[in-house]
Structure 1
Amino acid sequence: MSGWTAKRFWKDVRTEAVEGGYAVYLDARPIRSPAKRPLVLPTVAMAEAVAAEWAAVDKVVDPGVMPVTRSANAAIDKVAVQFGEVAALIAAYGGSDLLCYRAEGPEELVRAQAEAWDPLLDWASDTYGAPLVTTVGVIPVAQSPESLTRLSAPLFSASAFELTALHDLVSLTGSLVLGLAATCDAFEPETIWRLSRIDEDWQAAQWGEDEEAAHAAARKHDAFLHARHFWEISALRA
């Protein structure tokens, strides 16, 4: 059975412990991924979240309102089968991290970036032993290979489910440092998101907010919060 059956046929949804994790059953049938792999989930919390999405289906399955199921499918069908490539893709953000590229002016923006981003770079240096250098403008600046290796280590030691969350946390913020910080309980997700939007928010304050850009930002914000939630329910402590 494909996990993306077009119409509801089941009456009951339940979770059950299976080898390697937890499965969700529609009546007696276990959900499978679109590639027909068993949808074995790492935590009770994730299994319950997936079960709730399937229980909420009325007549027709709509993946657009089933974000946890979508992310779990991606972890199993995409990330797990090309784990090294995905981890390397995310790690590359460290070499051009948003926090390292500062505006030449005006002074208010320069100050806002420094006040917002310098503490996160200090955190990365203290936490991972990975100091990064900053520059003005967009010309690439070389980072220490040792720092980049240390920053990328958590990616390669993550589970496929955690790496799925990290992919979105990093790509949506444009920063490996912010993506890693988003997985740390010391930082509020909304704070991390705000720090990733310093430039955009400053521009909007100066020139007014573009409606289309605001809608796009809202969609990215929702996706970021979902990725943070998916990280939480991916962790074995959940």
Structure 2
Amino acid sequence: MKRFYTMVSNTRTDDGFVVQLDGKSIKTPLGQPLAAPNRPYAEAVAAEWSAQEETVVPDNMPLTQILTTAIDKARERDALTKSLLKYLDTDLLCYRVKEPEALAKLQKETWDRWLTWFDEHFESPLEVTFGIEALKQDADTHKQIWNYLEALDEHYFTILQIVTSLTGSIVLGLAFVEHEATPEDVFNAAELEEIYYAGVANEELHGPDPVSEKRQKALKRDLAASKEILSLLDQE
């Protein structure tokens, strides 16, 4: 859509710090005020709107998109928590290959670090399989992570949901939200197999696959935006 506003600001209300266009509060698709929990977050979102030129491009406003998701999805929290919990049994890091040996070695070197962190942080080891059968992690682990998810506020929960769904790993999502894993750590772990097979195919000679390249670019963008939001949430 065309840019229809001149001034972008934010104001404190009972809902939080609401981003405004020409003095009018922005509404989410469900009609709720676009309100951030603190002023730094609101200012960062406002900066995205200010940076738009003749045309407003939503894909260029990842902070706005993530804040909108956190606000509008809050009413679906129970269903989203159940959906996230399912990743414990399907987590990318728990499904390994035996061959090729080089890939198996990379998986162990890269992924074991995060499974070890999960075990130490939650005192709950996760099983790993080299077969095609589905895993069923311990019921106590499910309960512990459920309690953890229930305690998260909607903004941290949304970041966890985004990272987990993008990577297929709740372990990586948890490590990210806990400031243990960087965007680069998450990207390298999640894209390990893709990076390995790109090397086998000699992308330097033949060029990258355009579909994979586009997806990886979007993943890096979303991880960077999520990291920025975590930093903003930690501010006063």
**What TM-score comes out, normalization by structure 2 length?**
0.89
Matched, 1:117 2:111: yes
Deviation at 1:174, TM superposition (A): 0.9
Contact 2:183 2:220 in 1 (8 A): no
In structure 1, distance between residues paired with 2:22 and 2:212: 43
In structure 2, distance between residues paired with 1:57 and 1:204: 36
Deviations 1:94-133 (A, max 9, x none): 1111111110212221111111111211110110122101
Deviation at 1:43, TM superposition (A): 1.7
Counterpart in the other structure of 1:206: 200
Counterpart in the other structure of 1:90: 84
Contact 1:12 1:27 in 2 (8 A): yes
Give 3-state SS (helix, strand or coil) of 2:86's partner.
helix
Identical counterparts, % of pairs: 31
Deviation at 1:154, TM superposition (A): 2.8
Matches within 5 A, 1:121-140: 121-140=115-134
In structure 2, distance between residues paired with 1:208 and 1:89: 37
Matched, 1:80 2:80: no
Deviation at 1:159, TM superposition (A): 1.8
In structure 2, distance between residues paired with 1:64 and 1:108: 37
Contact 2:62 2:222 in 1 (8 A): no
Counterpart in the other structure of 1:108: 102
Cα RMSD (Å) of the superposition? Answer: 1.8
In structure 2, distance between residues paired with 1:22 and 1:81: 20
Counterpart in the other structure of 1:144: 138
Matched, 1:17 2:12: yes
In structure 2, distance between residues paired with 1:205 and 1:93: 28
Contact 1:101 1:137 in 2 (8 A): yes
Q: 1:56 to 1:218 in 2, by over 3 A?
A: closer
Match of 1:47 among 38, 42, 45: 42
In structure 2, distance between residues paired with 1:194 and 1:12: 40
Deviation at 1:141, TM superposition (A): 2.0
Counterpart in the other structure of 1:163: 157
- Tell me which amino acid in the other structure corresponds to 1:225: A
Deviations 1:18-65 (A, max 9, x none): 224211222221221122212221122210111111212323322121
Deviation at 1:236, TM superposition (A): 5.1
Deviation at 1:69, TM superposition (A): 1.3
Give 3-state SS (helix, strand or coil) of 2:35's partner.
coil
Counterpart in the other structure of 1:62: 57
Tell me, which stretches of 5 or more residues in structure 2 are unaligned? 204-208
Contact 1:98 1:175 in 2 (8 A): yes
Counterpart in the other structure of 2:28: 33
Matched, 1:174 2:173: no
Q: 1:215 to 1:54 in 2, by over 3 A?
A: closer
Contact 2:3 2:56 in 1 (8 A): yes
In structure 2, distance between residues paired with 1:37 and 1:20: 9
Deviation at 1:177, TM superposition (A): 0.4
- Tell me which amino acid in the other structure corresponds to 2:47: A
- Tell me which amino acid in the other structure corresponds to 2:230: W
11-20 vs 86-95, which moves further:
11-20
Contact 1:178 1:192 in 2 (8 A): yes
Deviation at 1:167, TM superposition (A): 1.3
Give 3-state SS (helix, strand or coil) of 2:20's partner.
strand
